[in-house]
């Protein structure tokens, strides 16, 4: 463990250029390890207030216990008064040059198996499946081959500020523009409003951003957020959650995936659950449709992370919401503050 600590500390300070201290921890599970880090990290005012996770791309193929562990970590972060950021990078954390095919990649990279094929509850695989996209590829050496690294040029960051969570959804994209990679990026802000007071809402949001010393290049009011999603979106979502439905006839016989043999029966989806959260489900599907409509060619999308009370929503349904929001989009940051204000007015 000491050798691993020294190697990772060297990676932070030399390869990654990060000024920080690498401190490993040992735990029996991914969730316990995350709680240990959240409770022990930082000193005084230097205590971190945001937890960042990679999206679990292989959530549909994993055991329910893995999903529950990931889902509970999000709730634990709010318990520790932290904000939560989840990065969904469809192609993973590496941007392999197009000239390199799978056949001529380094053996250490090309030989890795997809996390979607792993069904055992393994904590190491649980963490790696949250950093890769379709394949579990190691981070390649060289800064320009990592996601969000490279030359500085004009880019677009779209922010969907759908809920007042203290301002983290608006602050983080602004902080990104202070970095070299995003220094020329334009921030476009989307927020819900009413069609009959469209102009007034635009003026109010622009004035509010000015008080926060944040100047988006464009402010758009979403007046169709509460419309019903398309039949195509509903059908895709229905198919996504089908393996987790306890009232589907073909899965009720016990011949289905391993998910239904798990003892955690409270984390499968039934018709009552779908009815209870129908409005919230439709909202996530509609958010995805609006993002596709306005931000399909953006470089980064920041959107408010959906949240529910602890124990009120099955982990499978919540993961399906996250998947539905970020489906077929550029890299997506799903953010949720801890209700503490992170923005200050200019006076």
What is the reported pLDDT for 345? 60
Q: Evaluate if residue 260 carries a pLDDT over 90.
A: no
- 219, 204 in Cβ contact below 8 A? no
Residue 244 counted as domain residue? no
Mean per-residue pLDDT for 52-72? 90
Question: pLDDT confidence of 267, banded at 50, 70, 90?
Answer: low
Distance CA 115, CA 299 (A): 26
What is the reported pLDDT for 248? 52
Ranges 184-198, 310-324, 332-346: which has the least confidence: 332-346
Q: Across all residues in the chain, what is the average pLDDT?
A: 79
Chain position carrying tokens 């203290």: 166
The boundaries of the domain holding residue 137 are 49-95+105-230+272-336
Residues 6+ apart with CB under 8 A from 194: 201, 223
- 91, 327 in Cβ contact below 8 A? no
Percent of the residues in the chain that have a pLDDT greater than 90, as a whole number:
37
What is the reported pLDDT for 42? 81
Higher pLDDT: 166 or 253? It is: 166
What is the reported pLDDT for 197? 84
What is the reported pLDDT for 340? 72
Distance CA 167, CA 89 (A): 23
What is the reported pLDDT for 55? 94
Q: Read out DSSP for 23-76?
A: -----SSHHHHHHHHHHHSS-GGGS--EEEEE--TTTTTS-HHHHHHHHHHHHH
Strand partners, 159: 189, 302
Most confident residue range from 20-24, 116-120, 145-149: 145-149
Residue 343 counted as domain residue? no
What is the reported pLDDT for 124? 53
- SS3 label, residue 132: coil
What is the reported pLDDT for 258? 46
Sign for the CA dihedral angle at 33, 37, 39, 40 comes to: positive
Ranges 105-109, 143-147, 203-207: which has the least confidence: 105-109
What is the reported pLDDT for 109? 40
Q: Evaluate if residue 153 carries a pLDDT over 50.
A: yes
What is the reported pLDDT for 263? 37
Q: Evaluate if residue 168 carries a pLDDT over 90.
A: no
CB contact burial 216-255 (16+ within 10 A = b; e otherwise) = beebbbbeebeeebeeebeebbeebbebbbbeeeebeeee
What is the reported pLDDT for 126? 54
Question: pLDDT confidence of 150, banded at 50, 70, 90?
Answer: confident
Residue 157 counted as domain residue? yes
Residue 239 counted as domain residue? no
Higher pLDDT: 117 or 271? It is: 271
Residue 148 counted as domain residue? yes
Residue 11 counted as domain residue? no
Residue 20 counted as domain residue? no
> What does the chain come to in residues?
347
Over the stretch 87-131, which tens digit does the pLDDT of each residue have?
999 887 775 444 333 443 444 444 444 434 444 445 555 555 554
What is the reported pLDDT for 286? 96
What is the reported pLDDT for 117? 40
Q: Which of 325, 304, 309 is nearest to 233 (CA)?
A: 325
pTM for the whole structure:
0.78
What is the reported pLDDT for 70? 93
Most confident residue range from 22-26, 114-118, 307-311: 307-311
Question: pLDDT confidence of 344, banded at 50, 70, 90?
Answer: low
Residue 193 counted as domain residue? yes
Ranges 42-46, 234-238, 311-315: which has the least confidence: 42-46
Cα 108 to chain centroid, rounded: 27
Mean per-residue pLDDT for 72-98? 84
What is the reported pLDDT for 139? 41
Q: How many domains does the chain have?
A: 1
């Amino acid at each position: 463990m000491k050798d691993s600590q020294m190697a990772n500390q060297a990676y932070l300070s030399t390869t990654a250029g990060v000024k920080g201290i690498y401190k490993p921890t040992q735990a029996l599970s991914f969730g316990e390890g995350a709680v240990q880090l959240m409770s022990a990290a930082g000193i005084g005012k230097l205590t971190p207030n945001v937890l960042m996770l990679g999206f679990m791309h292989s959530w549909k193929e994993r055991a329910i216990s893995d999903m529950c562990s990931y889902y509970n970590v999000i709730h634990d972060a709010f318990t520790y008064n932290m904000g939560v950021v989840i990065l969904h990078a469809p192609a993973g954390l590496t941007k392999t040059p197009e000239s390199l095919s799978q056949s001529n990649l380094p053996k250490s990279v090309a030989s890795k198996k997809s996390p979607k094929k792993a069904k055992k509850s393994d904590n190491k695989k649980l963490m790696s499946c949250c950093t890769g996209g379709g394949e579990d590829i190691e981070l390649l050496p060289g800064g320009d081959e990592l996601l969000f690294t490279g030359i500085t040029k004009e880019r677009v960051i779209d922010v969907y500020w759908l809920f007042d969570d203290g301002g983290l959804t608006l602050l983080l994209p602004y902080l990104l523009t202070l970095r070299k990679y995003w220094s020329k990026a334009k921030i476009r802000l989307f927020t819900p409003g009413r069609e009959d007071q469209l102009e007034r809402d635009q003026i109010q949001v622009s004035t509010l951003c000015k008080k926060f010393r944040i100047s988006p290049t464009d402010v758009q009011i979403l007046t169709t957020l509460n419309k019903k999603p398309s039949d195509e979106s509903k059908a895709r979502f229905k198919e996504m959650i089908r393996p987790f439905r306890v009232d589907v006839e073909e899965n009720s016989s016990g011949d289905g995936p391993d998910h239904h043999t798990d003892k955690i029966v409270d984390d499968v989806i039934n018709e009552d659950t779908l009815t209870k959260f129908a409005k919230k489900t439709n909202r996530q599907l509609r958010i995805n449709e609006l993002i596709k409509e306005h931000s399909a060619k953006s470089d980064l999308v920041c959107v408010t992370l959906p949240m529910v009370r602890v124990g009120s929503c099955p982990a499978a349904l919540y993961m399906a919401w996250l998947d539905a929001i970020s489906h077929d989009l550029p890299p997506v940051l799903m953010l949720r503050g801890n209700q503490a204000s992170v923005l200050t007015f200019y006076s």
